[in-house]
A and B are shown apart, each in its own frame.
Chain A
Amino acid sequence: MLFLELFWTFLKIGLFTFGGGAAMVALIQNEVTVSHSWLSTQEFTDILAVSQMTPGPIGINTATYTGYTAVLNAGYGQGLAVVGAMLASLAVILLPVVLMFGVVRFLQRYRNNRYVNGVFQLLRRVVVGVIAAAALQLATVESFGEPEVSLHFIASLVIFATVFILAMRKKSPIWLMLGSGAVGLLLYGLV
């Protein structure tokens, strides 16, 4: 049952996301393109691109869009796809919200606890690896072109390097994405 599986998968993703939007994207990527074959890597990369260009938290955007596309890919119509989108968004926030209700009352006591500090020291370093793995899995032939001396591949490498450097310098993701899209339009449209 796709809808039940979708709900369960995003429930799990919400509970195990530590360290912000990129960590959530990494978990979604692994669940929907590796564990379940709901989406191809290329479809996921496109979704990621759109999620980075629209307002709102990147984790929610990616969950919503992935839920929509997974249902559509399974052969259902637009209406049910919207249901899938809502379901994924709800599932991904449900457990963190419930946890927050519990924790907000113990705010002060909770923060300098030895166990909490110990766990987070390790967890933060592990999450760095989790996100790196997602980036590696997303760097595919579908996104970069066949590795050969071709316009598509070379342009992809240049775009990747430029956006990477600018993102490290905290340039706004939306302009980076729109700029790269414009480069694509000009380059592949005119040549």
Chain B
Amino acid sequence: MVKYCELFWSFFKIGTFTLGGGYAMIPLMEQELVDRHGWLSQEDFLDQVALSQSMPGVLAVNMATGVGYRLRGYRGAAVAIVANIMMPIVFIITLAMLYQLFKSNTHVVHFFMGVRPAAVALIAAPVFKLAKSAQVTWRTLWIPVTSALLIWLLGVNPVYVILAAIVLGLLWSKIGPGTNEDRTN
């Protein structure tokens, strides 16, 4: 049986030393959970990744929940989640405090003037990457475009747009052709 302290240490390392968000954690998780400890088979790991991606929420936390639960039940999940997000939260709160102290410092102001357009670019870039993996074609381009315009121009809360997509998706699978809506897939 997997020890709690080993589980904690693994997810602590994964959470603390991964820069660049949840997707960057996947290779490190695989190395730690599959190769190093052998807690999961390669196949189980990939299943867990697919499942975590299709569930709502944060990918890394979903992974920690699923893996922790498989290994040691509810307590295992709690240990893995806490270990995974503990240091990031401490880092962020520390930085938030420092920012409050130094936000009017000239160098900090200049630094953020350079960094702001980059932060926006890092949110714009996934749009095109995700469009590819979501199989957005000329025929289906109206779906993301309409969603974006509803939010951007009409001020609709994105939560309602997502809710509508879930309801319409269910209806479509009920009344639609059933197997596959896109011949291009």
Nearest Cβ distance between residue B158 and chain A, in whole angstroms?
A: 5
Q: Which residue of B lies closest to A106 (CB)?
A: B51
- Name which of B61, B106, B114 has the most chain A CB atoms within 10 A of its CB: B114
B residues 46-69 in Cβ contact with A at 8 Å: 47, 50-62, 65-66, 69
Please state if A119 and B21 are interface contacts (CB–CB under 8 Å). Answer: no
B156 → chain A closest CB, angstroms: 9
Minimum CB–CB distance for B69 against chain A, Å: 6
| With A52-B122, A60-B58, A128-B136 as contacts: A89 and B89 at CB distance below 8 Å | yes
Q: Is there a chain A Cβ closer than 8 Å to B1's Cβ?
A: no
Q: What per-residue 1/0 map shows which CB atoms of B106-145 lie under 8 Å from chain A? A: 1101111111111111111111111101111000100111
**Top 8 closest pairs, chain A to chain B, by CB:** A184-B114, A56-B88, A96-B57, A118-B173, A129-B147, A129-B144, A119-B169, A180-B118
- Size of the chain B interface, CB-CB below 8 angstroms: 103
Is the C-beta of B100 less than 8 angstroms from some C-beta in chain A?
A: yes
User: Contacts A65-B92, A107-B47, A129-B143 hold; do A57 and B58 have CB atoms under 8 A apart?
Assistant: yes
**Known contacts A16-B56, A181-B111; is-contact A123 B130 (Cβ 8 Å):** no
Asked if A12 meets B51 with Cβ closer than 8 Å, knowing A86-B89, A100-B65, A139-B120, the reply is no
Query: Which of A31, A152, A176 has the most chain B CB within a 10 Å cutoff?
Result: A176
Q: Complex formed: what's the CA distance from A37 to B120 in Å?
A: 20
Taking CB as reference atom, which chain B residue is nearest A117? B173
**Interface check B5, CB cutoff 8 A:** no
A40 vs B118: C-alpha distance when bound (angstroms): 18
Main secondary structure of the interface of A (DSSP, over half): helix
Per DSSP, chain B at the interface is helix
Q: How large is the interface on A (under 10, 10 to 19, 20 to 34, 35 or more residues)?
A: 35 or more
Q: Per-residue CB proximity of A93-119 to B under 8 Å, as 1/0? A: 101110111011001001100111111
Is B20 in contact with chain A by the CB < 8 A criterion? yes
Q: Decide yes or no: A97 and B85 within 8 Å by CB, A111-B50, A118-B176 being known contacts.
A: no
Q: A159-B114, A163-B125 are in contact. List 19 more A-B contacts (CB 8 A).
A: A25-B123, A27-B159, A55-B16, A57-B60, A58-B22, A60-B58, A68-B96, A93-B58, A95-B57, A96-B56, A97-B77, A104-B65, A133-B149, A134-B158, A138-B119, A160-B118, A163-B122, A167-B125, A188-B110
- Whether B58 lies near A96 (C-beta < 8 A) is yes
Quote the shortest CB–CB distance from A188 to chain B (angstroms).
4
* Known A-B contacts A17-B56, A125-B143, A189-B107; A138 and B120 likewise in contact (beta carbons under 8 Å): yes
A13–B121 CA distance with the chains assembled, in angstroms: 22
The reply to whether B151 and A129 contact each other, CB–CB distance below 8 Å, is yes
A167–B134 contact, CB under 8 A? no
| B178 contacts A by Cβ under 8 Å | yes
Residues of A within 8 A of B131 (CB): 125, 128
Q: Which of A131-169 contact B (CB under 8 A)?
A: 131-139, 142-144, 152, 155-157, 159-161, 163-164, 167-168
